[in-house]
Amino acid sequence: MTIEGYTKDEFGTKLGKILSTSRPIQSIEHLKGRSKELDTIEKSLYAPGRHVFIYGDRGVGKSSLAATAAYQYQSAEREPVFVSGSVDDTFQTVIVNIANQALRRPRTEAIRTNTTMSLEWRGIKWSDGIERSNLDISSQIRTVGDAVELLKQIAEAHSEKPIVVLDEFDTIVDVNERNKFASLLKQLGDQSVKLKFIFTGVGHSLDELLGAHQSAYRQLETVELPRLGWEARREIVLEASDAFNLSLDNNVNWRIAMVSDGYPYYIHSITEKILWEAFSSAQEVNEIGWDLFFQGLQDAILSINAELKKPYGQAVLNRSSEFEEIVWSTADHDDLSRVLSDMYQSYTKIVAKRGQNSILLDQSRYGAQLRKLKEENYGAILQQELGRPGWYGYREKMLRGYVRMQAEANGIQLTGERPAPKQKMYVGNARNGYRGPDTPKGVREHQRISDWEETTSNLPDPD
């Protein structure tokens, strides 16, 4: 069926199934580029007493990986238990939350069982996830040992292979409260409780999340989640266009991949808007080309979450126009950390492209302005990289993708490449091989954050 054949309702419904701009993914068919991580998680969950911790930058896809892995693990008679940390949570409140979620009536008919979920523990009665006895549960969960005892019963009542996703663990503010989970894991293992945990958190290491010298390391498989790789970025768009029988200009597909900076939210958002533009177009549409791309990009920029946009606004709005170009220059290339001289190179290219209305600042003036981007009233978008004098990175890495979208919408194509002399060519391996030419020059296959350091040839800025 061509896109013209759909009613708005049919189109929107189908689109909502294919793209997931506002919700984590839960199924393996839509989770792109994470087969290695899924495999690691799957294998480690076989080990008795071992749990999983997924960490990485905001927006890289932690919740999606956790949910998908949990659905894979959880035995079919029930759904996995999902709870999320928040600023006012304590160990106690999280455990109570887990109990209530686990004992809730299954949501879908398909997994309804004839066992009613009810439990009685220390005089507290639950049925269908509601605590019926009006006792103060928290008062019964004074120690980690109490929690273990409760979770043991819950695990048995719940299912054959129960799993809990504790999302956004990092938002639990109190480090002492977070640390209790480390001893919880240890005790769950010691007492052979079959309940598994997948934690997610924004951060760069487990130390950051659990505190150093934790004994929980043996109980935890840690999965550091990098940005989405090139193929995965491209596949999201390709599948969506395939689903509506639209062909996809291969260069547009690469642009979306580059503009997104590897953050799947942007890819979903841009693709969703492109497809709506295609649907609403007065002309017959058979292909996603540049016009649709630019329309979709504009729409996506408008609808990006306000919190994300705010620092960008602070950095460029009501400022002299040079700040737009300076900010864009910071988001060029694939590297998340860059030195000033490198960014200045990007900047000179951007100014040249913008033409006569732009004035080129010299490097020292550029540097002075750039440093302002570390200040709160400029959105604090940049930060000096810890332990690497002269290197700058984004405070919130995901913002880089938004900056790239802004630049693109203004006719400035930032690249996913870097100016290093030795560049490899990669041969494209789009599905079935027929889709497209090779990877554009300079696009690097995905690397882990820790690998980037070694491959940079530039000298640091003596700042």
CA distances from 32 to 133, 180, 235, 266, 447 (A): 45, 34, 7, 14, 16
Among 58, 204, 371, 395, binds ligand ATP (CB under 6 A): 58
Which residue lies nearer to Mg ion by CB, 82 or 394? Answer: 82
Question: By C-beta, is 20 or 314 nearer to ligand ATP?
Answer: 20
367 touches 345 (CB < 8 A): no
- Which among 60-68, 83-91, 356-364, 392-400 is the span making contact with Mg ion, rule CB under 5 A? 60-68
State the amino acid at position 250 in one-letter form. Answer: N
Give CA–CA dist 423/435, Å, rounded: 23
Tell me whether residue 85 or residue 189 sits nearer to Mg ion (CB atom): 85
Minimum gap (Å) between residue 235 Cβ and ligand ATP: 8
Q: Which is nearer to Mg ion, 22 or 457 (CB)?
A: 22
CB of 42 to ligand ATP, least distance (A): 15
Q: Is 21 in the site for Mg ion (CB under 5 A)?
A: no
When asked if residue 64 is in the footprint of Mg ion (CB under 5 A), the reply is: no
Least Å distance, CB 60 to ligand ATP, is 5
- The DSSP code for 246 is -
Binding mask 186-205 for ligand ATP (x = CB under 6 A): ----------------x---
> For residues 266 and 405, what is the distance between their CA atoms, to the nearest angstrom?
9
Cβ-proximal residues to 426 (8 Å cutoff; 6+ apart), any chain:
438, 439, 443, 444, 445
Q: Tell me how far apart the alpha carbons of residues 383 and 396 are, in angstroms, rounded to a whole number.
A: 9
Q: Which is nearer to ligand ATP, 169 or 344 (CB)?
A: 169
Q: What is the CA radius of gyration of the chain?
A: 25
Return d(Cα 197, Cα 29) in angstroms, integer.
23
In the complex with Mg ion, which residue's Cβ is closer, 199 or 328? 199
Distance of alpha carbon 238 from alpha carbon 275, whole angstroms: 12
3-state secondary structure of 212: coil
Task: Say whether residue 439 binds Mg ion (CB under 5 A).
Answer: no
Query: Are the CB atoms for 326 and 369 separated by under 8 Å?
Result: yes
CB-side exposure of 125: number of CA atoms within 13 Å? 5
Cβ(95)–Cβ(83) below 8 Å = no
Residue 400 within binding range of ligand ATP, rule CB under 6 A? no
Which of 20, 26, 63, 369 binds Mg ion (CB under 5 A)? It is 63
Question: DSSP per residue over 362-417, as a string?
Answer: PHHHHHHHHHHTTSGGGTT-EEEPTT-TTEEEESSHHHHHHHHHHHHHTT----S-
Per-residue contact string for residues 25-54; x = within reach of ligand ATP by CB under 6 A: x----xxxxx--------------------
> Using the rule CB under 6 A, which residue among 3, 11, 15, 21 binds ligand ATP?
21
**Residues between 215 and 234 that touch ligand ATP (CB under 6 A):** 228, 232
**Window of 189-197, 261-269, 344-352, 436-444 that interacts with ligand ATP by CB under 6 A:** 261-269
CB nearer to ligand ATP: give 148 or 206.
206
268 binds, among Mg ion, ligand ATP, none (CB under 5 to 8 A by kind): ligand ATP
Q: How many residues bind Mg ion (CB under 5 A)?
A: 1
Residues at the contact surface with Mg ion, assessed by CB under 5 A: 63
Residues at the contact surface with ligand ATP, assessed by CB under 6 A: 20-21, 23-25, 30-34, 58-64, 202, 228, 232, 236, 264-265, 268
